[in-house]
Amino acid sequence: MARPIWTGALSFGLVNVPVGVYSATDDKTVHFNQLERGTSDRVRNKRVNERTGEEVAFDAIVKGYDLGGGRFVVIEPEELEAVEPGRSRNIEITDFVDLNEIDPVFYKSTYYLAPQGPGAERAYALLRQAMEETNKVGVASFVMRGKQHLVAIRPDKRVLALETMFFADEVRDPVAELGTLPSEDVSFQGRELDTAKLLVDSMTTEWQPEQYRDTYRDAVEDLIERKSRGEVVSTGAPVFQPAPVVDLMDALRASVDAARLKRAGAESLTSETPAQASRPATATAGSGSKRRPSPRAATEPQGIRSHASKAALAERAAELNIAGRSKMSRDELEAAVSAAEAEAERASAASPGKRRKAS
């Protein structure tokens, strides 16, 4: 059972709800210790005086604010403690705002609020339902772990979530900070915009978070497992290749076709019975002839192909006779294969009566 990292009360108006704050997420990042090469000895960091090179005791360290030019304002621990906010015992909602009015860029970390003690569940459930049906979030501030937080309380399926937020002066203005944004005069109409909207529509699906995985973490864990078994792992960093410059409209059309093939292939795989899915492929006559791509390969969903190796994509690119394939990165091969398959499908649909000549 999870333990609260803060306990107190959530209040709105004259209503107080005893609550606890719980972490909503779990960091799955693979962490490493520092070791001296060739040994199992841990390496520790030391606090060293930059001028003398000597180690400094922790209790002899003070905080200094850099004014520039080698000048610092030294702040003693007791001076900082004197201005620190006291521990909050209450999260007081001061305003309710529409959920859609808060830009997600303001959100930092998510926590769960849970009712604490007898009688708290009813008031908690009432607040959550009222906020859900009005599409509102509560805005409040409180102190947790010695830091003041601006927070948004929002209703989730069965729980109230607490989102810590950045203050307004902590969010950068993209127009002022970034020098490469398109000007306000850039706008689109006609075929390009219609095709882009069609692409968005063809790629639209329901949000299913379990479909997405941290493939880098999987690879690191696999690497650790293999090395723990004594395997020798070869290393070869992929060579970066710049993406080829293509016509925007051609890229949009090819992307729409590829998205349609992906959806059609996913639907065919979903509707396929287990017996069909496990049935082995039968050999065709003339096994000595050049191998041709199977109908399944032509309509393979890109979500499945995205897990294919570079070697498999290179083999498919060779079958499609894609120029320059030997110099492409894995991602470029995947995009080129998708576009070529889409073009082949479009050509086949335009001339259904024609047969390909045997090679």
Per-residue confidence at 202, pLDDT binned at 50, 70, 90? confident
Within this chain, do residues 115 and 153 fall inside the same structural domain, yes or no? yes
Mark whether 20 and 110 lie in a shared domain. yes
Among 47-56, 167-176, 280-289, which stretch is predicted with the lowest mean pLDDT? Answer: 280-289
On whether residue 333 sits in a domain, the answer given is yes
Nearest to 335 by CA among 311, 304, 297, 302: 302
Same-domain pairing of 118 and 193:
no
What average pLDDT does the segment 224-236 reach?
85
Are 128 and 254 members of one domain? no
> 8: Cβ–Cβ under 8 A, 6 or more apart, which residues?
18, 19, 88, 89, 90, 91, 142
Domain that includes residue 297, residue range:
189-197+245-267+293-350
255 shares a domain with 138: no
Output the pLDDT for position 237. Answer: 64
Which DSSP letter does residue 299 get? T
C-alpha dihedral sign at 142, 144, 147, 152: negative
**Residue 286 pLDDT greater than 80, yes or no:** no
Split into its structural domains, the chain has a count of: 2
* Residue 163 shares a structural domain with residue 310: no
282 lies in some domain: no
Least confident range of 52-66, 95-109, 318-332: 318-332
> Does residue 54 lie in a domain region?
no
* Domain match, 92 and 137 both: yes
Per-residue pLDDT tens over the stretch 232-245: 887 766 666 666 66
Q: What is the pLDDT of residues 143-163, one digit of tens each?
A: 988 889 999 999 998 999 999
10/118 same-domain check:
yes
| 15 & 132 share domain | yes
342 and 263 inside one domain: yes
Of 48-62, 129-143, 199-213, 300-314, the range with the lowest mean pLDDT is 300-314
Model confidence, pTM: 0.62
Please, what is the angle between helix 248-271 and helix 330-350, to 10°? Answer: 80
